[in-house]
């Protein structure tokens, strides 16, 4: 029996946080807008609208740097509760067409519509209708890519941003991939891209001349991925999942916490916020680990975790002390978190 040709859609909301804010206050559509932390509190840009991007403002950029590039930039603190509501609305629309929805974040997801009967099974028409429904019901725009696999669908969704749709048919895969720059392949960061360029490999067409053994020798396990992706091959399935596996809160401090006493003094506030988050998600009975993250003033980071089945402020205090002792330097960020299991915990697990 001939296997079903996969039809994968990758949907990516356009500047999601900023889009939600512009939806709720149309005046913001006319100005450069960034969602993120304050410049005087070491904030960074979470996302920004396209008016801000014209000035070179980008996600993950320090807010202070963004304001230097765009002095008129409007900076708003994130309203995560509002964004989660919009995300749930969008996921509900996706699931009107298929149960095979793999969320990657609040604003991004893969859909497998290979067996979807609506609209005569046309992935292109399904993507068009989804984008229209999200605009009508949620009030923001979404870009989508349609392709025979996840790798190509994700690249396609970025092809006509913002508010675009790009389709790669099975018979177009070979030609489309050949002209792709290798920088766009999964797993290729700055270091790997530089090495590829040094070897004279700029596009996937260049990469096709390399054998699998040679790529493995040059790049290790990544070589196998490069060999497949430059041929447009990606066998990963869309894995439907809506279960949250972790919950965390963190705080970046305006002034470094200079010693352990100052760090431990901040713990009750973080713990109270984590308690609220856990209660809100209904995961109290599914806790299986507690963890703490510390980022020191030299930007080195450490994490400590232990097995546990319930929240315990004293345990977090012990973890904080262990982590702090590793470097004994001023601290710029502290984060508390939990990991959750699929089933409720039956008994208290051994600490450490």
Q: Confirm if 330 and 257 have CB atoms less than 8 A apart.
A: yes
Annotated active-site residue 243? The verdict is no
Alpha-carbon distance 309 to 192, whole Å?
A: 41
Alpha-carbon distance 142 to 157, whole Å?
A: 9
Other Cβ atoms within 10 Å of 115 Cβ, number = 11
Q: Confirm if 33 and 76 have CB atoms less than 8 A apart.
A: yes
Alpha-carbon distance 133 to 31, whole Å?
A: 26
The helix or strand, by DSSP H or E, that contains position 271, with its residue range, turns out to be: helix 260-281
Among 108, 171, 261, 273, the active-site one is 108
Hey, what are 341's tokens?
A: 């299991």
List the end-to-end C-alpha distance of the chain, in Å, as a whole number.
Answer: 52
Beta-carbon contacts of residue 106 (< 8 Å; ≥ 6 apart): 16, 83, 84, 86, 87
- Angle formed by the axes of helices 212-219 and 222-229, nearest 10°: 140
Q: Tell me if residue 9 falls in helix, strand or coil.
A: strand
Distances (CA, A) of 133 to 39, 208, 217, 349: 37, 40, 48, 46
Annotation-wise, does 163 bind a ligand? no
Beta-carbon contacts of residue 255 (< 8 Å; ≥ 6 apart): none
Residue ranges with strand state E in 37-100? 45-48, 74-76
Annotation-wise, does 107 bind a ligand? yes
Measured in whole angstroms, how far is the alpha carbon of residue 93 from the centre of its chain? 20
Annotated binding-site positions for Mg(2+): 12, 107
Residues serving a catalytic function are 108
Annotated binding-site positions: 12, 107
């Amino acid at each position: 029996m001939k296997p079903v040709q996969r039809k994968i859609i990758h949907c990516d909301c356009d500047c999601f946080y900023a889009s939600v804010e512009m939806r709720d206050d149309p005046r913001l559509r006319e100005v450069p807008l960034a969602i993120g932390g304050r410049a005087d509190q070491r904030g960074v840009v979470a996302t920004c609208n396209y008016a801000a991007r014209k000035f070179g403002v980008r996600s993950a950029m320090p807010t202070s740097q963004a304001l230097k590039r765009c002095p008129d930039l409007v900076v708003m603190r994130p309203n995560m509760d509002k964004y989660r509501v919009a995300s749930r609305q969008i996921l509900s629309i996706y699931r009107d067409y298929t149960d095979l929805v793999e969320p990657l974040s609040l604003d991004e997801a893969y859909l497998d519509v290979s067996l979807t009967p609506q609209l005569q099974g046309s992935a292109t028409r399904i993507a068009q209708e989804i984008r229209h429904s999200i605009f009508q019901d949620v009030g923001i725009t979404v870009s989508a890519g349609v392709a025979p696999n996840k790798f190509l669908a994700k690249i396609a969704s970025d092809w006509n941003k913002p508010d675009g749709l790009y389709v790669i048919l099975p018979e177009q895969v070979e030609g489309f991939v050949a002209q792709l720059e290798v920088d766009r392949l999964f797993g290729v960061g700055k270091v790997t891209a530089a090495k590829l360029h040094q070897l004279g490999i700029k596009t996937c067409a260049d990469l096709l001349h390399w054998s699998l053994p040679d790529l493995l020798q040059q790049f290790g396990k990544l070589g196998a991925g490069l060999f497949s992706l430059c041929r447009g091959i990606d066998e990963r399935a869309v894995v439907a999942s809506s279960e949250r596996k972790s919950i965390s809160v963190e705080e970046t401090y305006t002034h470094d916490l200079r010693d352990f006493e100052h760090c431990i003094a901040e713990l009750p506030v973080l713990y109270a916020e984590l308690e609220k988050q856990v209660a809100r998600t209904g995961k109290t009975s599914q806790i299986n680990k507690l963890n703490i993250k510390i980022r020191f003033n030299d930007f080195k980071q450490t994490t400590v975790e232990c097995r546990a089945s319930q929240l315990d402020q004293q345990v977090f205090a012990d973890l904080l002390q262990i982590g702090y002792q590793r470097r004994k330097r001023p601290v710029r960020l502290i984060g508390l978190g939990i990991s959750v299991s699929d089933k409720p915990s039956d008994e208290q697990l051994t600490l450490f």
